[in-house]
Structures are given as C-alpha cells and as structure tokens.
Structure 1
C-alpha cells in the first residue's frame, strides 16, 4: 500500500458528484420502470404477468439499495475531500503558509 495521495480535493469532489449523479440516474430509471410496470399491470393479466411482477418486486429493493450505496459513496468522498483540504491547511501552518 502506498503512502502517497495522488488525487486533488477538486478531483475527489468531482468523482463524488459523479457517484451522486449515478445515484440520481438510477432512481429516475427505477421510477420510469415503476410507471411502466404500473401500465403493464393494467394491460396484462394472468399467471405470466404475476411471475413477471414478482420478479420486478424482488429486484426493486436491490436497485434502491444500489442507488443508496452510490449516494453513500458520494458522501464519503465529499467528506474525505474536505478532510484532505483541512489537513493540508493545518499542515501548511507548520511552514508559515497562510491559506485563504
């Protein structure tokens, strides 16, 4: 394991935003699929649809959990970037450097 950090706080914040956007995109897609599922429910009856519906309902929480994970990664990366920035500012004081 390396002791060097090779990413800037700005890059880390950018990556965090990408994860946040992915979380939002997943939620939008899931909402669209839910509307499609609701439409199909009114158009398709029988055992085949019931099986299809069951699969959808089993998969939906996993997709929600994945979106939640993407949002958690977003938060963790943001917090890490902020900690890196604060640490750099604190260390710069050892050299008499004033950060604005």
Structure 2
C-alpha cells in the first residue's frame, strides 16, 4: 500500500512539473507571437543603436515567422507521407485460403 501511495505522489508531482514547464515552453518558445512578447521586455536605446535594435527585431520576427511556417509545412508533409505509404490493413490480413478437400 505504501508503494502505491509513493507512486501516486510521484505521478502527481510529475504531472504538476509537466504542466508548469510545458506551459512555459509553449508560452515562451512554441508560440507564433513569442518574439513579440520578448520584444515588449526589450527597451530600445535612442539614436543609431535604437535603429540597429529595431532592425534586429524585424529580422528576428521574419526568421521566426518563416521558420514557423516551414516547421508546420514539414510536419504536415511527414503526416501526409505517413498516411500515404502506411498500409491501412495489416499485412497478412487476407482471409485464409479454403482447401477443397
């Protein structure tokens, strides 16, 4: 019984950890608007350095958007190819041959 309680507590802690860090990962890295959230925290300096920071922000946003599109493009093609070339029935699923005796 103690082993079952210990396992249940471990599973609960693991689930709580997973929810916390997976939510952080989705919010900060896997979101299409993640760079916009990053840029809100970054205060651009004035003058030429501000222009450079603005240019870098713009380039990061473009690279992020293109990368995000290509990531989904690749994922969808993998799924399409998987569905195309994976047989829908198991091999050897034909009915057994009857032997007329």
Name the TM-score, length of structure 2 as normaliser.
Answer: 0.49
Structure whose CA Rg is larger: 2
Name the TM-score, length of structure 1 as normaliser.
Answer: 0.50
Structure holding more helix per residue: 1
- Higher relative contact order at CA 8 Å, sep ≥6: structure 1 or structure 2? 1
